[in-house]
Amino acid sequence: MNVSGSVVFVTGANRGLGLAFAKAALAQGAQKVYAGMRNPEGFDVPGLIPVRIDVTDDESVRAAARKCSDTTLLINNAGIAALMEGVLDNNMVELSKHLMETNLYGLVRTSQAFTPLLSSNGGGAVINVLSDVTWLSIPMLAAYAASKSAAWSFTNALRIQLRQNHVQVLALHVGFLDTDLTKDFDVPKSSPEAVVKLVYAGLESGKEEVLADEGTRFIKSTLSNPDAIYFNPPMPG
């Protein structure tokens, strides 16, 4: 699918990777770019159309889909993360539920609301923003990793179902991004703009998965090995 001429809806588009997706789509000739966010008040980026959406709320998602019924490219970028002491923490269940509400069920809600529109508009594409922790979980990120692994599983099933409707589904896996949310982390980070460039190039070449950085590519390359990296991952600190 080509970004040029498409009508794009990006969730979590007020900052970071979501904003980079929205701006790049406009620069690449998208016909229209909807910038979805929970609170669009004060958002003023030339060329982007702010739309209120809370992916944890069914009616909010349905209302956004009704308003943006000409969408041909849905980018599920909205997501949340949290650190924890360890996988056996007392808050593991509640934190997992909290993260799943956005990172998994948010994808389900937007897919249910928007993908029929893509099909009726002649086909299109869905980009789901996932993570390298899909395959590499550590105790301090156990709840977050579980939500992203579940989102990967959903994405794979969605891809199979939507092929018959001429809708392409692409999964983005990426490690740390250089955004405000990670400014206090002393780790290698990818530029959001560079990641978006890779994703859009992958979309236009028909790819179904983009591994956006060297670390993510290495993690996936070990998955079938007897000593896969998830058995003994490098630990922070």
- Catalytic site residues? 144, 148
Taking residue 90's Cβ as centre, other Cβ atoms within 10 Å add up to 8
Torsion of CA 220, 168, 129, 30, to 10 degrees: 130
d(CA 20, CA 22): 5
125: enclosing H helix or E strand: strand 124-129
Q: Which two tokens stand for residue 185?
A: 């982390």
Backbone phi and psi for residue 32, each to the nearest 5 degrees, phi listed first: -155, 145
Q: How far apart are the first and last CA of the chain?
A: 42
Q: Which two tokens stand for residue 118?
A: 């893509």
Residue 216 in contact with residue 132, Cβ under 8 Å? Answer: yes
Instruction: Work out the angle between the directed axes of helices 105-120 and 142-163 (0-180°, nearest 10).
Output: 20
107: enclosing H helix or E strand: helix 105-120
Report long-range pairs for 189-194 (Cβ below 8 Å, ≥24 apart). 192/16, 192/17, 192/19, 192/20, 193/20, 193/24
d(CA 16, CA 181): 8
